Each structure stands twice: as C-alpha cells, then as structure tokens.
Chains A and B, each alone.
Chain A
Amino acid sequence: MNSARSEPNYARAQQVVHEVFELPLGERVERIAFLCGGDSALAAEVDWLIKAVEDDALDMVPESVGAVARDIANEWHFAATIPGNYRLLKAIGEGGMGVVWLAEREVGGARQRVALKKLHTGAVAHRSRLIEEQRILATLAHPNIARLLDAGEDRHGAPFLAMEFVDGERIDHWCFARNLDLRARIALFIKACAAVSYAHQQLVIHRDLKPSNILVDASGEPKLLDFGIARLISTEAAQRTATRFMTPAYASPEQLEGRPLGTATDVWSLGVMLYELLCGARPLQLFDLDHAQALRVMSGGVASADESMQASFRADEAVAAHGLSIPADVDAIVRKALRREPELRYASVRELAEDLENFLAARPVLARRGEWSYRASRFVYRNRWPMAAGMTALIVASGFFWRTAVAEREARLQAQVAGRTTEFLISAFALSDPTQAGRHDFSAREVLDRGRARIDQELADQPLVRARLLEAMGTAYRGINEGSAGAPLLEAAAELYLHPGINQPLAAARVLRAKAAAILDSRGSTQAALVAAQRAFDLVQVHAPDDLLLLADAHGALVPALNADAKEDRAVATAREALRLRELGTTDPAALASGNVELCAALSSSGDSLAALPHCERARAMYASAGQTRSNAYRHALRNLESVLAYLGRHEQGIAMARERIALTAALFGEDSAVLASERVWLIVRLGEHGLFEEASDLLTQGMPVILARNGKNSSQYARALFCQGWLHYLQGQFDLALPPMRLAVEIQTQQVAGRDLGTLHVLRTTLAQVLIESGQANAQARELLESVIAERNQAGSTSNALAYARLPLAQWHAAHGEAAAARVLLDQVSAVGAGVEQELHARVAATRAALFAGEGEFVNAEIEARSAYEIMRADRGDNHPRTVLYALAYARAARAAGELAVARALEREYQPELTRVFPAESAYLEQAAAAVQPQ
C-alpha cells in the first residue's frame, strides 16, 4: 500500500482540486501548475483526483457495507449479547434433540440460574430447529412465558439457548397436590391461556402444549416453556416435522393428519389440558393411543372413533372420582375447544379464556350460544364513534384480526386485507404531504375525495378490501359532518358485503346502519334513512336471530330513523325493545347507557319528556361511572338530557348541560369544526328562551361564518342557523328582523330535503307561521303553513303532542280572525296533551283563550285566563324570565280591562322595569306594553 507516501500529497492535492474547480475551465491548468510549483508527485496526485471527481461511476455505496448490514439483520442473535460464563450444574431434561441443563451464568458479578438448552453432539440436523426456536423466543416477552436470556455458540461452536429457569411444578401436579378447587384451577389455566394467546398475537403457534410444558413457580404463576416445535405462522415450515415431534395425546386432529396448522391447534391442546386439569384424566379414547393409532383414528380408519371420542368428553363420570363437580357451562367450553373441525372451535385462545372468565363471573358463556361469530361485528360496531373518522375502526379492525386469527390462512387473508386497506389510506394521506404535493395543506375532505376517486380503479379486483375501504371512508365522511357524501360509499360497501363472493351479511348490516346514521346526520331524506335502517334490521334478523346485542343494535338504528320520519310511537316501542335486548345481552355500562339514551330520545321526540328524563339521567350516570365522559357517546347523552330538561322547564340545568356539551365538542372536534358551529347555533335557541340574548348573539357571531364556510349556503345546517337567527329576533320582539331569515330558512330547507324530511321542516314552518301571526300578519300564508304541517303530521301518524305545536298557532290565527269556535276546538285539543309538554304551551293556550274572551267582551274570564298564563310561566321559568314578564304585563292589561286597576298597577310597577331592561328599545313588546298603558 502506498498510503504513507501519498497522504501528504493527497491532503494537499484535494485542497488544490477544490480550489481549481471554483475557477472557470480556462484558468484551471495554469492555476494547477502554479499551486503545484514543480512538485511532480503532487501534480500527478492532483491529476488523478481530477479524474476521480469527473467520474460519476463511483457514486455507489460499496457492497461490503450493505452486506454487513444484512449480516446483522440475519444473525444478530448468534452473538451472545452479553458475554457470559456458564457453568453447567445438572441436566434437568432430555429430548430427542438435546439436553436442557440447569446452569449458572455470571453477569456483572451476579450469578443467575438459567436453563441452558444444548444440542446433542452431532445433532447437526436439529440445528436449524434450535435457531428457529431462538428466533421465536426472541419475539416473545410475556410474564407467563419463560424468557430467552442469551443465545450463542459454545467453545466448540455448538449453538445454545439460555432461558429463564423456572423452578416450578407441572401445572397438573400443582393443581392436584394442592387440591385446588374448580375456580382456582380455571383461574390458573386462564393465565396459561394468556401466554398462548400472546404468542398467537406474535404470530407464533406453540404446537406442543401439554402439562409438562407449563410449570407453576413458587409464586403460583404459570410459565409456558419449550417452543421447540413452535412455528411462526408466517413461515412455510414443513408440517411433517410437527407431527414427528409433538406429543400425540395432546395433538389436534389436523396435527395428526399432517394438515396445515393454525392457532386452532393450540386451542385443541388447551382443551385436552383443561379437561385433564379438571377431571384428572385425559379424554379417554385418546389416552392410550400411540401415534400410529391416533393417525388412523383421525383419518377415519377406525369406525365411529370420532363419535366415541366425542362421547368420552362427557366429563361427568371422571368428575365423580375427583369430587369436582363440573358445571354444564364448563363442559360446554371444553367441548367447544375440542371440536374436531378447527373452524368450529373457539376462534382464538383469547376467546376460550374469555369464556372461562364469563363462567367465573357467572355471565352466559359463548360456548352455549348458537351463534358466536357475532363478536367480529360486535367489536367493530362497539368502536363505531364516527369522529374517529373510520381510521380508528380500521386500526382497531386490523389489530382485531391478528388477535382472533382463526387459522393460518384466514389470518393471512385478513392481514392482507387490513394491510392493503391501511396502505391505501396511507397513500391517500401521503398526497397530503405538502412537500410531495406542492401544496400547503389538504383538508380531510380533499384527502377523502382523492381516496374515493381511486378506490374503484385501483382495487377493482379486491372486493373485500374495497368494501372495507368504502366503509371506512363513508364513516370518515360522516365524521367530518359530510354524511351526504358518505352515504353512497356506505351503500356501495353494503352491496359488496352482500355479494355472494364475500357474503358477509352482518357486515352489510353494520354499514347500512352507518348509512342510515350518515343520512340523518346530514339531514338527508328520512325515508332513505329508514329504508337503510330497515334493511340492516332485516339482515340481522335473518342472519343472527339469536344474537341479542346485534338485534339490539338493529333496533337501535331504526329509532332515530323512525323519529326523523315522524313515526314517534313506533320509535318509542323500538327503543324499548332495543334496551330490553341490551339488558339481556350485556352488562357493559356503555352499551346499556346508549340504550337508555336511545329510549330517552325516542320518548322525548314523542313529547313525553317526563318519561324520557330518568333514562337520560341514568345514561349520564353510567357513562360517568364508567369513566367515559370524554366520548362522543357521552356528548350525545348530554344533548338529549339537555333537550329533555328544557322541555320540562328546567332551563338552567339544560343550559348548563349545553355549555358542558359545547366545551366537550370543542375539545373533541376543534374550534373551527362544523359540528361545534352548529351546536353553538342551536344553543342560541335555549339561551334566547332564557333571555340571555347577548350570549346568544355572540354564539351566532361565532357559529355563522364557520357554517357558511363549511356547509355553504345551500345546506340544512345554514337553514338551521338562519332559523336560529330569526328565532332570536322573534324572542326579542324584533319581528321585522325575524321574518326574513326564517323565510329563507324554510325555503332552503324545503329545497334541501325536497319534501321528504318531515321533522325539521315542520318545526321551521310552524315557527314561521307563529311569528307571522304574533307580529300581526295572520295571513293566508300563515294558515297554509300550519294546515299543511297538521295534515302531514296526521298522515304520518304523529302523536297529539307533536301536533299541539302546530294547532296552537292555528288557534291563534282563528282568534285573530274572530273565529272563536274554530279556535276553541283547537285549543281544547292542545290542552288535552297533558303535562308531558313544555309548560309554556299551556301558558300560550291560556293566553289565547284570554284573547278570545277579551274579543268577546268577557273581560273577567279574560283576566282569569291571562292570570293563569302568567302563573304557569312564573312557576315554570321564574319571575325574571323574559316571557314571564310579557305574560305578567299581558295579565296587567287584562286586569285593567276587567277594572282591576290595583292589580294592574302592581304588576306594571314590578314588571315594567324588567321589560325595558331585558328587551331592546325597538322591541315590539315594548310598544305593545306602552300602547296598552297609554290610553288608560
């Protein structure tokens, strides 16, 4: 090598090269000559380096770097991570391939006892198995699995594994030596299951589960050992070797037959072990079978072997001998674990363990249910919070699929689907990377739109992936308040799930429920929502008729759809059924709470706020005690509670709920979210009712621009905001300002729903008519609005409570036109609805009656009714409420007309200052009051 000679030259030469390359081409030669100053060695070095600089073929990284990197990846574990000195103490086990030693290992001066697994000398063929075991153990870190401490080669180059030494007893010996009772045995077994289940999550199948591989240490913790024949689910390992090395008594039928193995094989072995732990004997027919016999049995060579094997699982006889009584539930659990067909066993070890936990907790066990695959859909459904924007559902779903891998192939297929789905979404989001797309930022909406445009063309041949993506994106649209964009995607997902090639009707039901909700969220066609919810309902009834919770969900989804379609009575009945099913099917507080919210909403919509209240309060308490107060479900509960409280006249509580809800919405959805804006706008109505005009006005100022920006002018959201704006003016007696936005609201809403949405449009029309009438414009339009609402409500089978809100202003209309008889008929109908509605409705009835009497010159009766109206309001809302003030002054006018001047003056003294304080100067209410007092 010539480095010693060249280094000084190189150091100087590279400086020269840097310098001359900064010069124009023509000046370089001269400069080099100058800098080298006749030093020919330096000149040669410079020349050589200039060639190097001009040669771009040198830009590759040398292979040796990459090769060593790969070495690390492949062989990291062959080097003992900590150089330890081992001393062999005694052999503690011997198997076909090697010996397990109890050994001492020195680590930093401390001594540690380990189990050292070494191959027999010359057992070269098993070397790869030991390496495989090491690879597998390296992926496992679980308190109930003996840890891998070290691995390497001994002085002679033979590989070894050093494992945590478990000083314990076999699980079966442990149980019998301590004469544990049934519950203690099951609890111990569940811990062992947790270890196996964990291994499955890491895609490792143990394949040799038996009591001697589960030791219980001094603290009573079971430890799973010996992954000697375990396999990674993902490797194409030869199944034959599994047959050769396993222990036949615990081997599953598919293992004996040499068929491909999935996690179900471990479920089987655990089933045999559970039987043995509880009964003290293995299932008899398998007990004495040697390998060859077992193979014949499993391949059908021995007649009725399967039947006799199943028969032997009757635990009763064995039980008697050991004094443990085996409940039918446990018997069912063992049988379900020992189904010959892997797909009929528990879908996962986790499920087996959960069912044992169900038994311990005296809950119904899965094994005894006809239909158990519902869990898959349940799981996803429980996590259906829309604002998680489908992404949660995806992440949850992919995690879920790993956990319950029924078998190798299915696990892979589902992993593929999940992986493909995630990949696709990531690629959609990658486009939102500003550096890549050359744009500053993308909204969620844009990302979704891009994804949607690509789904069909890129995933045409992968219908399941497409279905899941459409579902996720449909849900995501709903999450960003764009339910109308989400609904068609959800419909497409439903079609795919129902396609014979996929055939997942319960998944279809799930997306149809989501579709119904998306339509309702975006104030779309109530009929379309109802149709979707009904289809979901029918699918569940056909395909999971025994699944209480799915049925409950199906009922639950119908409730808001029925309500929106003004079928309140059916909605209440359906909600009651949903809650009943949930109470039968689960103890999960969140599920029960949501059932109560549904029923509360249904009752409240039907006008029965008194009956609704306890359900909402119960739901709120359930969420609070379950610690779920930062969730959308809780927000939903607050919203219902708030509305019920308002109807019951408990306005301050209602407003407190609304403020809590808005704070939660801001935290969950963000300050400039459309959801928050529309909630703010809605609260205007409640605040205005309570005379908090300024706060209401502020909310309108905050909310309106966001709604215009997010939803645009042609949206139901804008229509609602306009309505709220108008209503706020109306409440202040500013009729001129109230009417234009309310008219526009009716117009937009009518266009938006094209005559199909009944509920909201009815409210808008009714209130517009009411404002027209009260502002002295009891014209034909007002009458027409009200009569059409009443006719449509009657046609929809609406309850009288809901009708009352339209009948009352119509009565006022007739009163204004001097048609007292017609007015009284309507007023009687309204009075008949009883206590379940807002008290103000009754006050308005009384006030209208007072006006009728006054028109007929019956001033004493008029005064009685006016006082009644005032007292109802005062009791309901208190002395300071703005409308109490209005009714008080109306009462004062009636009293004055009836000659009760003292009463009138007393009222005016008390309430006139309130009137001027609360209402703006230009309020029509001030004029009315002034006009009434002046002439006297």
Chain B
Amino acid sequence: MLPTAHEEAAEPARDDRFAEDLSPLLYAELKALAARAIRGERSSHTLQTTALVHEAWLRVADQRRLDPVNRGQFLGLAAQMMRRVLVDHARRRAAAKRPTSDERIPIEEIDLPGSDPHRSGFDNGADLIQLDSALGRLHEISSRQAKVIDLKFFAGLELEEIADVLGVARPTVVRDWRMARAWLQRELGQV
C-alpha cells in the first residue's frame, strides 16, 4: 500500500488553524532573529538554520504558551517560514541588482566582519529562487517529499527528526529525501 495520499488526507484541520494563527508571528520572529545575527549578538556570524529555528520555537512557544506537543507542526511551519525569509531576501536582492558602473562598489565587496571572503557574486540567490519554484512543483507531485526537503534544508533537521515530525518510518523518509534530491538536481541541473 502506498502511504502518501492516505496520510496527507488524514491531517487534522486543526493544524491549518494553528499554522494560520502562528505564521505571521513566526515569520516576524525568524526575521528578527536573522536581523539580530548581524548585530553581532550571536557569537557566530554564520546563520545556522537549526539554531535559529529552535530558538524561534522557544520564543514563540513562550509567547503563546503552546503545548510542546505541537513541536512537529511548528518545525514544519518554521521550515516553510525560513524558506520564505530566505527567498524573499534573494528576490529583493535580485531586483535591486543592476548593471555595475565604474564608480560604484558592489555591496558584496565591502569587507564586513563575518562575510565569507571566498564568496563572489550573487549567484547563490538566483539558485535559491529557482530552488523555491522547483520545490513548488515538487509539492504538486508529492507534498511529503517537498516537506522533507523543507525540513532538511530550511529547518536543518536530521532525517530521524523528520520522520518523527511527519509521522512516517525512517526508511520512507530516507527514500523520499534521496529521490527528491535527485529530482531537484535534475530539475535545476546544479543543486
């Protein structure tokens, strides 16, 4: 028996309300966390998605007095939010990008503490926008695989945790993950 369709139909309606309720708050929270990272309050300048998501969880849970039982749903949502934050950012950057003229210094070349000296250009952002739309298509084919990717990429979860969150067996998640990765690779030709 193929579990995919069955399981997704069985998701309770309550989760949607929960998601609707929480997501602007969570989005703001993630943004604030990302913004905070630049101010040097965190010891590391590398934004770690896992750490951010967990911290956002702690804060949101604190504010809303959420039952920790919802952690799984939260993480799924957090992953989506994180993706949105990142993609929005990449879009804005892509929109702002214009042909360079000689008297202007591209912002990437300003030496900022914590920025990666080996990074050049802004191609990663373009990758991300493509990745985002590809994930949209994947969602149409198998929403569970798209969720697996979200949780892995944007919430930094281990496959074990993803299995917990989605309530499926670990081998299933491993297969979903590897097949979806292969599919994305083929779609984008580069991921």
Contacts and interface: CB of A to CB of B under 8 A. Distances in A.
A155 to B, nearest CB: 10
B137 A67 contact: no
Contacts of A124: 103, 105
A75 interface: yes
Contacts of B35: 76-77, 138
B119 A67 contact: yes
A64 B127 contact: yes
A3 B138 CA distance: 10
Please classify how large the interface on chain A is, using the bins under 10, 10 to 19, 20 to 34, 35 or more. 35 or more
A48 B39 contact: no
Contacts of A2: 186
A61 B152 CA distance: 7
A10 B141 contact: yes
A153 B96 contact: yes
Contacts of B142: 11, 14
A2 B154 CA distance: 26
A77 B31 CA distance: 11
Contact of A76 (B38, B154, B176): B38
B132 to A, nearest CB: 10
A52 to B, nearest CB: 4
Nearest to A1: B187
B163 interface: no
B179 A53 contact: yes
A62 B191 contact: yes
A58 B104 contact: no
A135 B116 contact: no
A245 B96 CA distance: 32
Nearest to A77: B38
A114 to B, nearest CB: 20
Contacts of A135: 38-40
A65 B127 CA distance: 9
Interface residues of B, number: 65
A795 interface: no
B9 interface: no
Given A71-B93, A135-B39, A63 B178 contact: no
Q: What DSSP secondary structure best describes chain B's contact surface?
A: helix
B149 to A, nearest CB: 10
Contacts of B153: 61-62, 65
B70 interface: no
A570 to B, nearest CB: 52
B175 A21 contact: yes
Interface in B135-191: 137, 141-142, 145, 152-154, 156, 159, 171-172, 174-179, 181-183, 185-187, 189, 191
B89 interface: yes
A73 B45 contact: yes
A74 B115 contact: yes
Contact of B124 (A6, A48, A56, A64): A64
A3 B125 contact: no
B10 interface: no
B2 A15 contact: yes
B64 interface: no
B49 interface: yes
A234 interface: yes
Given A135-B38, A157-B104, A72 B86 contact: yes
Interface in A255-292: none
A69 B49 contact: yes
B3 to A, nearest CB: 8
Interface string B66-86: 000000000000000000011
A156 B102 CA distance: 12
Contacts of A77: 35, 38
A10 B183 contact: yes
A627 to B, nearest CB: 27
B19 interface: no
A900 interface: no
A69 B38 contact: no
Interface in A105-162: 122, 124, 127-128, 131, 135, 138-139, 153, 156-158
B22 interface: no
A71 B128 CA distance: 12
A157 B109 CA distance: 14
B14 interface: no
Contact of A14 (B104, B137, B179): B179
Interface string A1-26: 11100110011001101110100000
Contact of B47 (A7, A53, A69, A127): A69
Contact of A65 (B154, B172, B179): B154
B110 interface: yes
Given A2-B186, A6-B186, A59 B86 contact: no
Contacts of B21: none
A58 B182 CA distance: 8
B90 interface: yes
A18 B175 CA distance: 7
A49 interface: yes
A49 B93 contact: no
A62 B114 CA distance: 20
Given A7-B141, A62-B131, A138-B38, A69 B179 contact: no
B6 interface: no
A14 B141 CA distance: 10
B110 to A, nearest CB: 6
A70 interface: yes
B65 interface: no
B37 interface: yes
A796 to B, nearest CB: 57
B37 A73 contact: yes
A18 B177 contact: no
Nearest to B122: A71
B113 interface: yes
B17 interface: no
A52 B191 CA distance: 14
Nearest to A55: B178
Contacts of B114: 73-74
Contacts of A63: 124
A15 B141 CA distance: 11
A71 B125 contact: yes
A72 B85 contact: yes
A153 B90 CA distance: 16
B11 interface: no
A234 B40 contact: yes
A138 B3 CA distance: 49
A70 B108 CA distance: 12
B61 interface: no
A79 interface: yes
A58 B178 contact: yes
A549 interface: no
B133 to A, nearest CB: 11
B113 A68 contact: no
B34 A72 contact: yes
A696 B91 CA distance: 75
Contact of A68 (B125, B137, B181): B125
B13 interface: no
B141 A68 contact: no
Nearest to B82: A69
Given A65-B86, A73-B38, A74-B45, A79 B178 contact: no
5 interchain residue pairs of minimum CB distance: A52-B182, A64-B127, A67-B124, A73-B47, A73-B37
Given A3-B137, A68-B124, 9 more contacts: A7-B137, A14-B145, A21-B171, A65-B153, A69-B46, A75-B93, A76-B35, A131-B112, A232-B40
Interface of A: 1-3, 6-7, 10-11, 14-15, 17-19, 21, 48-49, 52-53, 55-56, 58-59, 61-79, 122, 124, 127-128, 131, 135, 138-139, 153, 156-158, 232, 234-235
7 contacts: A52-B181, A62-B127, A65-B86, A65-B153, A71-B90, A124-B105, A127-B110
Interface of B: 2-4, 34-35, 37-41, 45-49, 85-86, 89-90, 92-93, 96, 98, 103-105, 107, 110-116, 119, 124-125, 127-128, 131, 137, 141-142, 145, 152-154, 156, 159, 171-172, 174-179, 181-183, 185-187, 189, 191
